[in-house]
Amino acid sequence: MEGERLDRFLCRYFPRTRRSFVRDALAAGDIVHNGRPGLKGRPVRAGDRVLVRCLLEEGDPWVRPEPDASVHVLALTASWVAVDKPAGQPVQPLRPGQPGTLAGALAARFPECMAVGETDTGMGGILHRLDTGTSGIVLVARTAAAWQALRSQFRHHQVVKRYVAIVEGRVHKAGEIAYPLAHDPHYRGRMLVVMDPTTDLRWFPAVTEFQPVAYGPRRTKLEITIRTGVTHQIRAHLASIGFPIVGDDLYGGVRDACADRLALHAARIRFTDPDTAAPREVESPVPPELDALLSAD
């Protein structure tokens, strides 16, 4: 392996790692080459000493518990917990060990959650996602039985989620958007509203109900109800009828100086409690910056 680049050398020496893991370890200073911080392009020579302090491999846990991270609990039972996610916090890591996620905070506060559900993706216990820029309620299972029961409710569209959004323009009446959604093949991370269901794109059914509840000088506050949970459903649907969410520059919304966030909040969720079989509703107060965005000139 004389002359091999350091990053390729490490991938060959540790076959269960990835190039991206090696790059992260190099950037974090966790790899030392001959007493100096490792550089991915530096070649290795016979007699070199390579010290690896920390290097992720396939199968390692995606979530690292973060004891210093706060978790705002809205409701709690022995089987599940509902927490209030702030805007700007990712729900789960996009790579193993990524800090600053809700999953990392949950792993420290409720470690039992990480042992149920999608444990190999960092979604252990977490039953549904919110976009990073969206604030509000996230429901999390604490036991395997609760996970199975609640996931079944989500799959059968029995969970009702209500949101509050501030959109550009004046929405004069309530309505429903029932167009399917598909991943945009030309724009990674963006969804397309499918007007023609005979398209070759793999699409997902989605229904979004909306009701105007307040008006500002140039914006509308909407209450939104969904039972489906397609990626970017509310954002893409509202933009398709000419009312993008404030701050949603991916779908045409304006980034406002009053609040550097997406003006979308998961305010209420209704489901059947897996322990009592009784209806349960959890509510999260709407952040005050959303009303500031509504009243902005």
pLDDT value for 258: 62
Share of the chain above pLDDT 90, in %: 78
CATH topology of domain 73-295: Pseudouridine synthase (3.30.2350)
Token pair, residue 276, equals 């009592």
Catalytic residues: 131
Residue-wise pLDDT for 100-152, tens only, equals 999 999 999 999 998 998 877 778 899 999 999 999 999 999 999 999 999 99
Burial label for 294, CB within 10 Å (0-12, 13-18, 19+), is buried
Query: How large is the C-alpha radius of gyration of the chain?
Result: 23
Residue-wise pLDDT for 14-66, tens only, equals 998 988 889 888 988 899 999 999 988 899 999 999 999 988 888 777 788 99
Q: Out of 27-31, 88-92, 154-158, 255-259, which region has the weakest mean confidence (pLDDT)?
A: 255-259
Average pLDDT over residues 279-292: 96
Residue-wise pLDDT for 177-219, tens only, equals 999 999 999 998 899 999 988 888 999 999 999 999 999 999 9
Residue-wise pLDDT for 81-110, tens only, equals 999 999 999 999 887 778 899 999 999 999
Residue-wise pLDDT for 64-76, tens only, equals 899 999 999 999 9
Contact 234, 243 (CB under 8 A): no
How many C-beta atoms lie closer than 10 Å to residue 91's C-beta? 19
**Displacement of CA 52 from its chain's centroid (Å):** 31
Taking alpha carbons only, the member of 160, 166, 288, 162 closest to residue 218 is: 166
pLDDT value for 124: 87
At residue 78 the predicted structure's pLDDT band, cuts being 50, 70 and 90, is: very high
Q: Which amino acid is at 98?
A: Q
Q: Is the pLDDT of residue 259 over 70?
A: no
Q: Which amino acid is at 258?
A: C
Q: Is the pLDDT of residue 257 over 70?
A: no
CA distance 57 to 152: 32
Domain positions in the chain: 6-52, 73-295
